[in-house]
Amino acid sequence: MDQAGLRLGNLGVRLARTEAEIDAAQRLRYQIFYNEMAAKPTLEMAARSRDFDRFDDLCDHLLVIDHDRGDGPEGVVGTYRLIRRAAAIRAGTFYSASEYDISALEAYPGEILELGRSCVDVAYRTRGTMQLLWRGIAAYVWQRGIALMFGCGSLPGTDPQALALPLSYLYFNHLAPEGLRPTALPGLYADMRLMAPDDIDKRAALSQLPPLIKGYLRLGGFVGDGAVIDHQFNTTDVCIVVKTDLVTDKYYRHYDRQNRDPRGGAGTGSADSDR
């Protein structure tokens, strides 16, 4: 990834370069998902205090680095896992396929990208950090010609009835078109249509959505049909699909402005999402 401009004060964003940096990302994921959010680790994960699976050796790991803490693994304060089609072929599948029928996405022409395992250290959960992460994703998408990105977005808790408002809002207002619609697998499918459309308070529903999902929606994202209860992570998942036209257009315009700016410099960029 081109590193130019991907800085915001002491923070920078780039791909992991070493095994030690990937280990730092896995350590951060364990801290957030298992210690903070009470997910249930395997015995091996608990012994190592790391969140890991078979995809980690095949994918790219996007990192936010606090350069005041160090330029390597000691500086890792945020991460996002990026799985492209070639990596999924080597793994035999995408991670999301354990919850959703994603055959419509796999059939999409061109490069596709699965996003997942997003987390940020509690001390760095600011709009600026999320702007930086999204600038990193935009650069990755732009440089690699990604046409479509997707992944499982999580709402806290495992009781769909307690999430009736946001789930119903997503289904009735942001359902993916049939040709791009993932569907929760049989046996895992939880109906999202828990309220009548006329009873949905859209403002209240949006206030209950996690910032990450709202960020995807602001980029024109859709959701698949059916939620999935993830008891390991103590969440209710929805499958998010985003065509990257808007992402790459915003990235191109940002860097086009830089190229035309006689003062030069990296600037701080912009983004419309947070988590």
pLDDT digits (tens, 9 = 90+) for 169-185: 999 999 999 999 999 99
The CA radius of gyration of the chain, in Å to the nearest whole number, is 18
More confident residue, 200 or 142: 200
Task: Assess contact for 242 and 221: CB atoms under 8 A.
Answer: yes
Q: Given CA atoms 43, 64, 81, 220 in this order, what sign does their dihedral have?
A: positive
Contact partners, residue 155, CB within 8 Å, separation at least 6: 163, 166, 167, 209, 210, 213, 235, 236, 237, 238
Confidence of residue 240 (pLDDT cuts 50, 70, 90): very high
pLDDT per residue over 187-233, tens digit each?
A: 999 999 999 999 999 999 999 999 889 989 988 999 999 999 999 99
Rounded Cα distance, 79 and 121, in Å: 9
SS3 of residue 244 by DSSP:
coil
The CATH code for residues 7-260 is: 3.40.630.30
Residue ranges per structural domain of the chain: 7-260
**Helical residues (DSSP H) of the chain, grouped into ranges:** 19-30, 43-48, 85-91, 103-106, 127-144, 164-174, 202-208, 211-218, 245-260
pLDDT(267) > 90: no
CA distances from 25 to 37, 92, 141 (A): 16, 23, 21
Give the pLDDT of residue 5: 54
Rounded Cα distance, 168 and 196, in Å: 8
